[in-house]
Amino acid sequence: MPDRNIAALLSLTSHELRQPTDVVRGHLRTLDHDLTLGQKARKVIADATRAADRLVALLDEIGELARLKGQAVRLTLKAMSVRSVLHQAVQAAELPDRHDVELDVVAPVDVRRRVDEARMRTVFGTLIHVLARAQTGAATIDLRLMRTKSSAYVWVTSRSLLRGKIEDKPIDVTRGGMGMLLPIADAIVHAHGGKLRERWVAGRWAGFIVRL
């Protein structure tokens, strides 16, 4: 299906689901103000409200993905140090309730590219979060910046998986727990004329590689 058709379908989905979701949230707010309800009922309402808020966030993500797929987003491009963008992404990264995952930018040489700074920072933040969620123990995630004559590459990977046969594969957008953020990251990189791929080392998923 062409991207524009996908964009239209995603936009319709977001629009059609938003109204009933807003109705549910409105009723939950009404119940929350009912002082006659007991503690158990209030806990149920609070849980349902958090779930409804998460649904709204997902609908926002679907709408954003629709705009990106439909090329309705105008990127704010300016010449930027890629190394600087990576450092910003690391500083702003939200790790998933883990204190044993460390982040490091490995960039012996810098590269300048015309990028939408905020959106590209979001891309690397998403990749960090997805990879951090997959770690089962203490780990260091590297953001390694490399360059060739024509391209810049950023390898977002666990430091423990650096040796072995390397293979790049299309990203698995079905990875759960991240909503639409991974497809959005892919669409942002594509909008920059780049490519986002998964990197596998010795048959194990090791992270991502971004070409700009």
User: Do residues 152 and 118 both lie within one domain?
Assistant: yes
User: Do residues 46 and 126 both lie within one domain?
Assistant: no
Could you read off the pLDDT tens digit of each residue along the chain, which spans 212 residues? 556 677 788 788 888 888 899 899 989 899 888 888 888 998 999 999 999 999 999 999 898 888 888 888 889 999 999 999 999 999 998 887 766 889 999 999 899 999 999 999 999 999 999 999 888 888 899 999 998 888 899 999 988 877 778 899 999 887 767 789 999 999 999 999 999 999 998 888 989 999 99
In the chain the first and final C-alpha atoms are separated, in Å, by 26
Bridge pairing between strands 166-170 and 195-201: antiparallel
User: Do residues 34 and 138 both lie within one domain?
Assistant: no
CATH code, 113: 3.30.565.10
Tokens of 152: 């810049």
For residue 127, the enclosing domain spans 77-211
User: Do residues 29 and 130 both lie within one domain?
Assistant: no
User: Do residues 65 and 87 both lie within one domain?
Assistant: no
The last residue of a domain, from among 69, 93, 127: 69
Report angle CA 110, 196, 83 to the nearest 5 degrees: 15
**pTM: predicted TM-score of the whole model, two decimal places:** 0.85
The last residue of a domain, from among 22, 44, 69: 69
User: Do residues 86 and 179 both lie within one domain?
Assistant: yes
24/141 Cα distance (integer angstroms): 40
Model pLDDT, residue 211: 95
User: Do residues 33 and 82 both lie within one domain?
Assistant: no
Among 6, 5, 4, 43, which residue's Cα sits nearest to residue 173?
Answer: 6
User: Do residues 150 and 118 both lie within one domain?
Assistant: yes
Inter-residue contact 120 to 81 (CB < 8 Å): no
